[in-house]
Structure 1
Amino acid sequence: MLTVENLTVEFPGRFGVFTAIEDVSLTIAPGEIHGLVGESGAGKSTIGAAIIGLLQVPGRVANGTMTLGETDLRSLGPVEAHRLRGERISMIFQDPQTSLNPLMTIEDQLIETIQAHEDISTSDARARAIALLEEIGITDATSRIKAYPHQFSGGMRQRVVIALALCTNPELIIADEPTTALDVAVQSQVLDLIQRLANTRGIGFLLITHDIGVIAQITDNVTVLRNGKVMETGPTDKVLRRPEHPYTSALMAAVPPLDRKLDRFLVPDDDTPDLAAPTGRSAADAEAWLSSGTQALGEGLLVENVTVRFSGNRTSLFRKPPAFTALDDVSMSVRPGTVMGLVGESGSGKSTMAKVITGLVQPSAGRLCLGGTDLPLARERGRKDPSRRLIQMVFQDPYSSLNSRHRIGDILAEPLWLYGLEADADKRRDIAAAMLDLVGLSADAIDRFPHQFSGGQRQRIAVARSLLARPRVLICDEPTSALDVSIQAQILNLLKDLQARFGLTILFISHNLAVVRQMCDDVTVLKGGKVVETGASEAFFTQPDAPYSRELLQLTPGFTSGAAA
Structure 2
Amino acid sequence: MLVIKDLAVKFPSRFGDVTAIEDVDMTIAPGEIHGLVGESGAGKSTVGAAVIGLLPTPGYVAGGELTLGDTDLRALSREEAHRLRGDRISMIFQDPQTSLNPLMTVEDQLVETIQAHSDVGYEAAHKRAVDLLEEIGIENASARIKSYPHQFSGGMRQRVVIALALCTDPEVIIADEPTTALDVAVQSQVLELIRRLADTRGIAFMLITHDIGVIAQVADRVTVMRHGKVMESGETRQVLGAPEHPYTRALMAAVPPLDRRIERFAIPEPEAGGAGAGEAAERWLLEGVGGAATGLRVLDLSVQFAGTRTSLFKKPEPFTALHDISFEVRPGSIMGVVGESGSGKSTLAKVLTGLVSPASGQMHLGDAPLPGAKQRGRGHPSRQLIQMVFQDPYSSLNSRHRIGAILAEPLWLYGLVQEAGARRELAAQMLDLVGLPADAIDKYPHQFSGGQRQRIAVARALLARPRFLICDEPTSALDVSIQAEILNLLKDLQANFGLTILFITHNLTVVRQMADDMIVLRRGRIEEAGSTEAVFEAPQAEYTQKLLSLTPVMPREWQIAG
**What TM-score does the superposition give when structure 2 sets the normalisation length?**
0.98
The letter of the residue matching 2:259 is D
Aligned to 1:564: 561
Render the CA deviation track for 1:131-153: whole Å, top value 9, x for unaligned: 00000000001110000000000
The letter of the residue matching 1:25 is D
Does the CA-based 8 Å contact 1:339-1:505 persist in structure 2? Answer: yes
Aligned to 2:35: 35
Does the CA-based 8 Å contact 1:303-1:369 persist in structure 2? Answer: yes
Moved over 3 A (4+): none
Does the CA-based 8 Å contact 1:94-1:180 persist in structure 2? Answer: yes
The count of aligned residue pairs is 560
2:442 is the counterpart of 1:447: yes
Render the CA deviation track for 1:132-183: whole Å, top value 9, x for unaligned: 0000000001110000000000000000000000000000000000000100
More displaced 10-residue stretch of structure 1: 141-150 or 372-381: 372-381
2:494 is the counterpart of 1:499: yes
Aligned to 1:553: 548
Aligned-partner Cα distance in 1 for 2:429–2:447: 20
The letter of the residue matching 2:488 is N
State how 1:114-513 maps to structure 2 within 5 Å: 114-271=114-271, 280-293=275-288, 295-296=290-291, 298-513=293-508
Aligned to 1:276: none
Aligned-partner Cα distance in 1 for 2:128–2:191: 23
Q: CA deviation at 1:349?
A: 0.2
User: Match of 1:469, SS?
Assistant: coil
Aligned-partner Cα distance in 2 for 1:8–1:515: 36
Q: CA deviation at 1:296?
A: 4.1
Find the partner of 2:522 among 520, 523, 527. 527
Render the CA deviation track for 1:511-534: whole Å, top value 9, x for unaligned: 111111111111100001000001
Aligned to 1:24: 24
Question: Structure 1 59/314 Cα, relative in aligned 2: closer, same or farther at 3 Å?
Answer: same
Aligned-partner Cα distance in 1 for 2:130–2:528: 39
2:60 is the counterpart of 1:60: yes
User: Match of 1:13, SS?
Assistant: coil
- Percent of aligned pairs with the same amino acid: 70
User: Match of 2:315, SS?
Assistant: coil
2:111 is the counterpart of 1:111: yes
Aligned to 1:536: 531
Aligned-partner Cα distance in 1 for 2:559–2:455: 29
Structure 2 segments unaligned to the other structure (5+ residues): none
Aligned-partner Cα distance in 1 for 2:61–2:201: 31
Does the CA-based 8 Å contact 2:11-2:17 persist in structure 1? Answer: yes
Question: Structure 1 19/296 Cα, relative in aligned 2: closer, same or farther at 3 Å?
Answer: farther
Question: Structure 1 294/487 Cα, relative in aligned 2: closer, same or farther at 3 Å?
Answer: closer
More displaced 10-residue stretch of structure 1: 525-534 or 51-60: 51-60
Does the CA-based 8 Å contact 1:473-1:504 persist in structure 2? Answer: yes
Structure 1 segments unaligned to the other structure (5+ residues): 274-278
Q: CA deviation at 1:284?
A: 1.1
The letter of the residue matching 1:151 is Q
Does the CA-based 8 Å contact 2:289-2:497 persist in structure 1? Answer: no
Aligned-partner Cα distance in 2 for 1:305–1:369: 12
Q: CA deviation at 1:426?
A: 1.3
User: Match of 1:55, SS?
Assistant: coil
Aligned to 1:45: 45
Does the CA-based 8 Å contact 2:332-2:498 persist in structure 1? Answer: yes
Aligned-partner Cα distance in 1 for 2:271–2:450: 15
Q: CA deviation at 1:63?
A: 0.9
Does the CA-based 8 Å contact 2:34-2:222 persist in structure 1? Answer: yes
User: Match of 2:552, SS?
Assistant: coil
Aligned-partner Cα distance in 1 for 2:561–2:365: 36
Does the CA-based 8 Å contact 2:225-2:231 persist in structure 1? Answer: yes
**What TM-score does the superposition give when structure 1 sets the normalisation length?**
0.98
Render the CA deviation track for 1:320-368: whole Å, top value 9, x for unaligned: 0011110000111111111000000000000000000001011100111
Q: CA deviation at 1:53?
A: 0.6
